[in-house]
Chains A and B, each alone.
Chain A
Amino acid sequence: MSAGIDRRAFLAGASALAVGGAVAEARPRVHAAALPEAIDDLTELTLAETATAIRRGRITSEETVRAHLERIERFESTYMAFNTVLAEQALERARRLDRRRPSGPLHGVPIVVKDNYWTKGVETTANSYIFEGFVPDEDATCVARLLGAGAVILGKTQMGPLATTRATTPDGVITTVNAWTPSTPEYSPGGSSSGSATAVAGRLACSSIGTQTGGSITNPSNQQNLTGLKPTMGRTSLYGVIPLTYTRDHAGPLARDALDAAIMTEVLAGPDPKDPRTQGLPRVPDLVRAVTRRPRRITLGVPPGYTDDDDDATAAARRAMLDTFAELGVRVREIELPAEWDLLTSGTFNNVRLPERTEPFLPYLKQDLKLFGVSLNSWMQGLFLSGDEWLKGQRAKHVLLTRVLDDLFAQCDAVLQTDPVPFDIIGLPELAFPIGFEPHESGNEVPIGAIVGAPPFAEDRLLSLAGAYQAATDWHLRRPADPAPVRAFATRPRLTAEEVERLTQ
């Protein structure tokens, strides 16, 4: 691609790419003001750019799929982002799509899917011994919607075992590396949607989907310079996702930028007859248009101590981000956290999720504890919370929700987060986005990210903030260097059960 590509102009023009509610039947209006004149490297195009280029006949789906597969062939032995690469199926689907008139918003676009989403006819393991050999006979709703929108699935991505922590084998040996530090496996790629993040950051796919129960979309997005959106609970269907914690799991994209995250979320979102959690909720707004909407009337809340981080680089990046938002017309305001915030968002109250982690897996606990590998502890802990304590935990969620809506959001329209877990507990939307870089001991620079949260179903507000910020900054445009030749798998370290317990979402 030419160095002078003007993605900001593209962003401004792309607001007309409307996805609509009925994804499979949608005929999006595509308008890209600034597709690059020369497209030298197809893997550098974002999802929006790729979809536009295909629609305009500038490239074919087969060409972009082949370009991504070539990178997978070259670098996957280092990145270890995949559980399964579907090279032949992807090429065959791309060629089939190239023979059709583009109809869906993702027509011909190569993406990847976390390995806890059911994929018809393709093994779905959630990186666990429990699901070895499990081949679903239908797609998860999110997967079906992506396919209905024309996506080409390149493969299933690595993840923390059963979506607990960073990607490892079930026994804890580190697999996926951070695309920004490929020769330093100790530096986390973020979890548990590690492979999805590395695949997108490493330009092995245009975009991806992951799941989040306690930071598993926002954390890897921050770690790898991506824009990740954890939608409101119920906004996206969880049907066909292997559960980690049934009432806390969320499906959403890990994307290159806010526009791509908006497009992916519009495809994924909406009611699903197979998932009652998606029923009776507010309609999905025009998320793509929200990306180009100026967030002038938004008050952005800043929690106490937000710029006092011990890490000077993080604190400096946060201060610069706040300055940028102020220049964009966003009102930036320090806020007070609601009463009992520390208690209600503590690890102790977060543990209320554990019995529902255990419940669907009880037959496997009885069958063979070794099936859980290094992730066993939290499944066992779920057996030791009483019914009344679990119920009180559900009341505590209502207390936290009430105080967040009535007290916190009385002070602001969106709020920066220092930890994704509080909003995960009550199912509120969160968006992760890049805000800078800092040196790392590996010699590489590593990304710094921020997380912003909003009231229920206000994903459009988050995308508006991120879109405006990304139109004024270029952190999200940076790309990691290609990794050096292969490292031996045996040199990769291993997580202990205690580390997994501490890091588990």
Chain B
Amino acid sequence: MPPTPPTDAELDALILARLALLGIDLEQLPLSDPEAPADRTRVMRSLRTFLRSTPPVISDYSPSVQDHPPVLYPAPHSAWTR
């Protein structure tokens, strides 16, 4: 049985704890202000969406560790190795 997907509240706790650990204060932004370039409500919604969509897909992918080294610069890597 896969674990139960996290709720919004659980993700919010994760997000706020991570930000606090790094010393980033989300309270610098207004709670909810559509006229502001950014607000806490929209940032939290964006981060919840990101957490639900990106890490699970990447973590499910399993390339061959032997055949595919991590490369920061694929195109120069091809010139350096081929």
Contacts and interface: CB of A to CB of B under 8 A. Distances in A.
Nearest to B29: A369
Interface string A403-444: 001000000000000000000011110000000000000000
Contacts of B25: 366, 369
Contacts of A491: none
Given A362-B22, A372-B38, A392 B58 contact: yes
Interface string B29-65: 1000000011000110011001101110111010101
A426 B65 CA distance: 18
A370 B71 contact: no
A170 B79 CA distance: 39
B63 A399 contact: yes
Contacts, number: 157
Nearest to A501: B46
Contact of A370 (B23, B28, B55, B77): B28
Contacts of A388: 59
B2 interface: no
Contacts of A282: 79
B4 interface: no
Interface in B12-26: 15, 18-19, 22-26
A233 B73 contact: yes
Contacts of A397: 70-71, 74
B6 interface: no
B58 A352 contact: yes
Contact of A232 (B26, B75, B80): B75
Given A395-B69, A397-B71, 19 more contacts: A232-B76, A234-B75, A277-B76, A280-B79, A343-B61, A346-B57, A348-B54, A369-B38, A370-B38, A376-B38, A376-B43, A383-B22, A384-B18, A389-B59, A396-B63, A397-B70, A397-B74, A401-B75, A427-B75
Interface of B: 15, 18-19, 22-26, 28-29, 37-38, 42-43, 46-47, 50-51, 53-55, 57-59, 61, 63, 65, 67-80, 82
30 contacts: A170-B37, A233-B76, A234-B75, A277-B73, A277-B76, A282-B79, A349-B58, A365-B24, A368-B28, A370-B37, A377-B46, A377-B47, A380-B47, A394-B70, A395-B70, A396-B58, A396-B61, A397-B70, A398-B63, A398-B69, A399-B63, A401-B71, A402-B68, A405-B82, A425-B74, A427-B73, A427-B74, A455-B78, A456-B79, A497-B37
Interface of A: 170-172, 232-234, 247, 277, 280-282, 343, 346, 348-349, 351-352, 362, 365-366, 368-370, 372-374, 376-377, 380-381, 383-386, 388-389, 391-402, 405, 425-428, 455-457, 497-498, 501
